[in-house]
Chain A
Amino acid sequence: MKLKFTRREFVISAAKVMAVGLLAPTGALAVTKLASAADSSAQNSILQQWAGKEWNFVVDTAKCIGCASCVKACKKENNLPLDQEVYRTWVERYLVDTNEEVRIDSPRGGLDFQQKVLQVNKQFFVPKLCNQCKHAPCIQVCPVGATYRTGDGVVLVDRERCVGCSYCIQACPYSARFLHPVLKVADKCNWCYPRISKGLLPACVQVCPTGARKFGNIKDPASEIVALKKKSRLRVVKQDMGTGPTVFYIDLDEVVK
């Protein structure tokens, strides 16, 4: 087969292609790197914010009376419509009747527990929320890097980046995530990150009338969370999933889903 061009022409053409191939991306990279001289002071303030902090949550199921004040407060604090069936937190009711059969319900996330007359053996409430997992499957499956775990242990969703593909919602074993009905991006409990970053408590912890919800920094030896974790028998939900939850339950019965 005859060559289409001479060796000289080929070398020149190849050199041209390579020059374009190397210069163009290099040039673009240089331009973008210059434009984005990293705002290091903003970076540092976040790193300072995170220093010495690792948030944990403890739920004492024996104290929960199923009033769902937490559910209401969470919706109001985080501007989620009360009438939409999406919940950052919810309360489940377990009725273990005399046949060791379990009846579970959470009507409107616990806002609608009705009075009932039934003979049961064991009865209790279990509040649920996002576990801010150390090995979160939701972070693993997000295709665009829109969800992440902060340095102080909270999993957040970047509302500007999320494309609303719902993969994270499929991946969460605890059903903690949902599609925000208005913003059409993923949403979930974030332990009221704006509040805790200012030294406040999450709204649900603050309004709980019985102290069933506790929150704190396990790196702070004076925190009540540290003492609570030390003295209590703790369990997490769906431990076999390997997600490494950081919400710990006191008195979690084995029937809890």
Chain B
Amino acid sequence: MQKPRFSASFRASVLVILLILGFIVAKQLAKPKSFGEFGFYRGDNVAEWIALDQNYAPPGNISCLKCHDKIGQLTALAEHGQLDCQACHGPLLAHSLKPGDSHPKVAGNAELCGTCHNQILGRTKEQITTVKVSEHSGGLDCVRCHDPHQPLSMNGGRTP
């Protein structure tokens, strides 16, 4: 039988070398351009995160008082003064940028007010005034008696 030019080991080696070379080329092509800029990660990702949109606007005294200055000032002087508007009113960036497009309403019920003022185990009276809703109001909406912006004005509530 004719002896072939290239031995078995040579053929196998060539195959393996080609595979390794192919991989090196593929690796260089597949690596993202910004990878390694700042560390072992894709440098572009930092800017991608910074560019993301928010849902919550900046604090109320910047975002809300421009239009809602009267109620903002009243609230600031009363018991809820240190709270951000969005703590109760939810995310308001969309509304603050385009006020006409949305009119977020918040329900003044025991569920909302109870998140802070419910008498749950763990919460002490030194930290915050708490009530047991069933005993205090029988489940009625808190805003029936309390103005959320001036919660203790007029001896605890608006006249109904």
Contact = CB atoms under 8 A, between A and B. Distances in A.
B115 A151 contact: no
A21 interface: yes
A5 B5 contact: yes
B90 interface: yes
Interface in B16-63: 17, 21, 24-25, 28-29, 31-35, 37-56, 58-59
Contacts of A120: 121
Given A46-B46, A193-B49, A200 B58 contact: yes
Contacts of A79: 55
Contact of B123 (A65, A147, A197): A65
A69 B122 contact: no
B59 to A, nearest CB: 6
Nearest to A117: B121
Nearest to A29: B28
Contact of A193 (B50, B91, B115, B128): B50
B54 A194 contact: yes
Contacts of B82: 209, 211
Contacts of A146: 41
Given A5-B5, A145-B40, A21 B17 contact: yes
A56 B25 CA distance: 43
Contacts of A208: 87
A145 B21 contact: no
A247 to B, nearest CB: 19
Nearest to A193: B49
Contact of A73 (B5, B46, B86): B86
A65 B56 contact: no
A195 B54 contact: yes
B120 A115 contact: yes
A101 B82 CA distance: 36
A17 B17 CA distance: 9
Nearest to A199: B58
Contacts of B136: none
B3 interface: yes
Given A147-B41, A203-B56, A77 B91 contact: yes
B116 interface: yes
Contact of A38 (B37, B83, B118): B37
Contacts of A125: 122-123
B49 A190 contact: yes
Given A28-B29, A76-B56, A206 B121 contact: no
A161 B41 contact: yes
A4 B3 contact: yes
A35 B40 CA distance: 20
Contacts of A4: 3-7, 10
A84 interface: no
Contacts of A94: 122
A98 interface: no
A118 B121 contact: yes
B31 to A, nearest CB: 8
Q: Which 9 A-B pairs have the closest CB atoms?
A: A148-B41, A36-B33, A194-B52, A207-B87, A158-B45, A116-B121, A28-B25, A93-B122, A145-B40
17 contacts: A4-B4, A24-B21, A39-B33, A73-B56, A73-B87, A93-B122, A113-B121, A115-B132, A116-B120, A145-B41, A150-B38, A158-B45, A160-B48, A161-B41, A194-B54, A206-B56, A211-B82
Interface of B: 3-7, 10, 14, 17, 21, 24-25, 28-29, 31-35, 37-56, 58-59, 82-84, 86-87, 90-91, 115-116, 118-124, 127-128, 132
Given A21-B21, A73-B91, A194-B53, 9 more contacts: A17-B17, A25-B21, A46-B47, A49-B46, A76-B56, A94-B122, A158-B41, A207-B86, A209-B82
